[in-house]
Structure 1
Amino acid sequence: MKINTYIENERLLTGMTMKDKAEPENGNMALHACESADHVRSNRQQLAGFLGCSPADFVFANQTHSANFHRVTEGDRGRGADDRETAIPETDALYTFDSGIVLCTLTADCVPVIFYSDENSLTGVIHSGWQGTVKEITLKLFRHLQLEEQCDPRRIHVQIGAALSQEKFEVDEDVYIKFHDLGYADEFIEYNATTNKYHIDNQLTVQKQCELAGIPAENITIDRTCTFQSAEGFSYREDRKAGRHVSFIQRKA
């Protein structure tokens, strides 16, 4: 199984699974977009082996491109791991203060955000497709963590995972207007007069949202792998039947 490991130390293990032709369905991790649920369960079992845990330690949400987030507790352990019906409903970001739980987010072009704090046991993941970005899910979650969970944003570290590149994220004026109306995304937008299309860098827009929430720029890292252009990427824009990557974070007990 191909995994981009972002952090691996005595406290944390974070990364993103990549497309792998040697695995069932190329390493697809999504029960909602698969040919066989058993193939996905097999792939998730392999990931659990890499993490040194059980799939019963995973937590997944049924992602709906919302701005909804959920604080995961011990009672949520295993939700969505084997069955979509048990996943946390209508949620696109998860965070926890509990160790051993593996928070997971599924993407195929959308921006995955993995984060942790070095002042406490906070870990989390965010699914920010363009709809989530214009709904400011990342900014809203980090402001919530500051105001309601008393987390210092200056102590939060962010890994933005592989996603659709600006070159390949081509949109019409209706989507451009939504980004423009944010008031801070214009520098991440290019207009192609030949095609009358706009090209938006969703990763950098999400990074800007992290910074607006008070996270220092030096605490943010971006994997600039394009999920469309890379042979190791699942791209919904390229193939509507594409599988999904899973980005994950586990704070060890």
Structure 2
Amino acid sequence: MPKTASPVFTEPFVLYQSTQLSAYAERVIHGFTGKPISLGGAAYPAEAAKTNRAEVCQTVGLSPSRLTLPRQTHTDQHRLNDAPCERETDAIILTETGVAAMVQVADCVPIILYEPQRHVGAVIHAGWRGTAQSISAKVAQTLIQQHQARPDRIIAIIGPSIGGCCYEVSTEVADAVGETIPHASLAEYQETQSSGKPRVDLKQVNRLQLAALGITQIELLAACTFCDNHLLWSHRKGEAGRQVAFLELKP
């Protein structure tokens, strides 16, 4: 299972990319942003975030005219392309070219899926609530069942988020996410500290959910938002900024 640690550049903002998806650079634009710019957040000025999103689009070549972001509320729901959607959703499935999709995170897990033969993909926001509802597996299942993606051809990129090294949670939270992967051993995604409180690795939980569907091409970006706070925004550090995962399918 490949792991990517270092950003591809740090100016004018931090950008991480997948080594696997970079092989499809002529077909997709993808990445995970970081500091110093913020791309959203309820406590961050909306106009500044809008300006920063325009800068990201210009820098990486995304199409600003069809830029779409979901109304994220830690659900297990998705929306399709840039079609109007009144309900809250936490993922966007892409089947049309020229639509730039983003999800905002600041400790939660951002995930990009892409199936090159069908030329379909998705961007997903998976906090612990979304993970406990198996959002990444549900979105992957939609790609498989409704858009003819094959599990063995899906490339899954799990982006920078708070790591198991730092994500201390309640027993209730640890149990809720663990119930989604009954086939896994506790040691694969959880560590109990000397205090008795668990630390959970949400990246590994999402990896295990996807692997259970037969998805084998999974790449983890090892950066931790809490440890690597000089590069990435962290809600647990008390910061208002947000980074994004983005994806656009080229014609």
TM value normalised by structure 1: 0.86
CA shift in 2, pair 1:244/1:88, >3 Å: farther
Structure 1 residue ranges, 4+ long, deviating more than 4 angstroms after superposition: none
Tell me the secondary structure at the aligned position of residue 174 of structure 1. Answer: helix
Partners of 1:130 and 1:184 in 2: how far apart?
A: 19
2:79 corresponds, among 64, 70, 83, to 70
Partners of 1:39 and 1:178 in 2: how far apart?
A: 36
1:59 counterpart = 2:58? no
Q: Is the 8 A contact 1:33 1:244 kept in 2?
A: no
Residue 104 of structure 1 and its aligned partner are, at CA, apart by 0.7
Aligned identity (percent) is 29
Residue 72 of structure 1 and its aligned partner are, at CA, apart by 1.6
Tell me the secondary structure at the aligned position of residue 17 of structure 2. Answer: strand
Tell me the secondary structure at the aligned position of residue 235 of structure 2. Answer: coil
1:17 counterpart = 2:59? no
The one-letter code matched in structure 2 to 1:169 is Y
Give per-residue Cα distances to partners, 1:99-130, cap 9 Å, x unaligned.
11111111000000011111112021011111
Residue 53 of structure 1 and its aligned partner are, at CA, apart by 4.2
Aligned to 1:45: 54
Count of aligned residue pairs for this structure pair:
231
Partners of 1:33 and 1:222 in 2: how far apart?
A: 29
TM value normalised by structure 2: 0.86
Aligned to 1:84: none
Tell me the secondary structure at the aligned position of residue 88 of structure 2. Answer: coil
Partners of 1:140 and 1:48 in 2: how far apart?
A: 28
1:143 corresponds, among 136, 141, 153, to 141
Q: Is the 8 A contact 1:97 1:123 kept in 2?
A: yes
Partners of 1:233 and 1:51 in 2: how far apart?
A: 18
Aligned to 1:5: 17
Tell me the secondary structure at the aligned position of residue 237 of structure 2. Answer: coil
Partners of 1:44 and 1:63 in 2: how far apart?
A: 17
CA shift in 2, pair 1:53/1:189, >3 Å: closer
Consecutive unaligned residues in structure 1, runs of 5 or more: 21-26, 77-86
Aligned to 1:100: 98
CA shift in 2, pair 1:214/1:103, >3 Å: same
The one-letter code matched in structure 1 to 2:171 is E
TM alignment of 1:91-240, pairs within 5 A: 91-182=89-180, 183-185=182-184, 186=186, 187-192=188-193, 194-216=194-216, 219-230=217-228, 231-239=230-238
Residue 157 of structure 1 and its aligned partner are, at CA, apart by 0.5
Partners of 2:62 and 2:76 in 1: how far apart?
A: 29
Q: Is the 8 A contact 2:207 2:218 kept in 1?
A: yes
The one-letter code matched in structure 2 to 1:235 is S
Give per-residue Cα distances to partners, 1:34-85, cap 9 Å, x unaligned.
0x22211111111110233442221100111111112225x45xxxxxxxxx
Range with greater deviation from structure 2 (144-153 or 113-122): 144-153
CA shift in 2, pair 1:88/1:215, >3 Å: farther
Residue 31 of structure 1 and its aligned partner are, at CA, apart by 5.1
The one-letter code matched in structure 1 to 2:191 is E
The one-letter code matched in structure 2 to 1:32 is A
Tell me the secondary structure at the aligned position of residue 45 of structure 1. Answer: helix
- The structure with higher relative contact order (CA 8 Å, sep 6+) is 2
CA shift in 2, pair 1:33/1:46, >3 Å: same
Residue 195 of structure 1 and its aligned partner are, at CA, apart by 1.6
Residue 242 of structure 1 and its aligned partner are, at CA, apart by 2.3
Consecutive unaligned residues in structure 2, runs of 5 or more: 1-11
Partners of 1:152 and 1:105 in 2: how far apart?
A: 24
Partners of 1:180 and 1:108 in 2: how far apart?
A: 22
Tell me the secondary structure at the aligned position of residue 114 of structure 1. Answer: strand
The one-letter code matched in structure 2 to 1:159 is I
